Structure 1
């Protein structure tokens, strides 16, 4: 049931089992289904739909016509109980779609906190999105994608299913990514996106000093510019990782993947 301090527009439809936190609001003509929990201070705009099971944290702002917690777009889905979890202080803009998980894919789609998902962005079933990410207009994740923290997807970027995008990566406008992208990299469009250096400007904005950036640049050269096979490049990374936590993060990311590495 809604908290007495919640503001529910008279035209909104809220299922009696939904839990609406203190200071939350639901706009005109929005629909809040059963088994939905909306945290304190979260604002749901007009003409939105939120399907359960879905848990939305505190102080999010979901703009008009967003479709949250819909069934996964997966032909194998048979109505099993699956869920969506969204953290705190996210901005989810108009016409964004976020689907629940699938029984065969872990059962949950999860989005962290302090993210911006701009208009027409799509997060498919079983995706895991970290914190402080920006998905520009029409950025799209297929199913089972894992996105780290501080990742930027530019407009019309598309990520293939089961791919991973490491922390602080930057995916350029229109790039189509069909392999894992290690932390700190920039990917630009050229048919399918290809690595184009490291995200130096983004790292500087987040307080990385020149020594850390230089170590990351050396790691990038070892993997992407040396001409070595991946096995040899991994050995070079292992040596560099002895003196850099950031390089160690890249190495662990590369060694933990099931999809081919984007090179």
Structure 2
């Protein structure tokens, strides 16, 4: 009888410890992007402003953010035509044409400042505890995360990869990234599905709430500021999801939104 009980316990433990989708979908207990002890709930958008240009994604802006002890920074990543991962939104100055690495270095598309590769960004961040939100317009977004993981390994910064928080736009991207890595949490950036408020967009909060309930590791959802209201914030809080508002570039708006209950704001200049 004793042997039977021991065998049953062993089987139960094996089931509990079995890796796979069931564990990947388990709820995250703590929100690690913004622990409760962080009072300054501001996310630096695209490394912040540089020389009056917002979302600069450049080295000077990142160094300034690190120097100011910012806790959470978002950076945009794109591949050049010769497959170098660089910090840029979408090569807008080049009419969204993908440029080569040499072109990127000689004439940084879209924004001012020193052109920065993903490897340079990781090198600057690796000895900090800063959370890095990854944004990318790449259709095959998993390739970006694979490259970031490879860069962390080359820079002897494997531990820093754990500080990366993926930002997704569609539910299917959650599944894609889960198949690559067991990330502890995600941000769902809703703006592609809502559209812009000034262009007749609409935020269907019940729809987004269903997605968040299905995908338990979506711990934050980001909306355009004009869509955010107290009822929406409360709706997501009830399922353990924090609301992020963007863009927010004045202290008065920041304070108003924080009183409303938003977890954080994304800002270019604050």
Indicate the TM-score class for this superposition, using the shorter chain for normalisation.
under 0.3
User: Would you tell me which structure has more helix in proportion to its own residues?
Assistant: 2
Question: Normalization by structure 1: what TM-score?
Answer: 0.23
User: Would you tell me which structure has more strand in proportion to its own residues?
Assistant: 1
Question: Normalization by structure 2: what TM-score?
Answer: 0.23
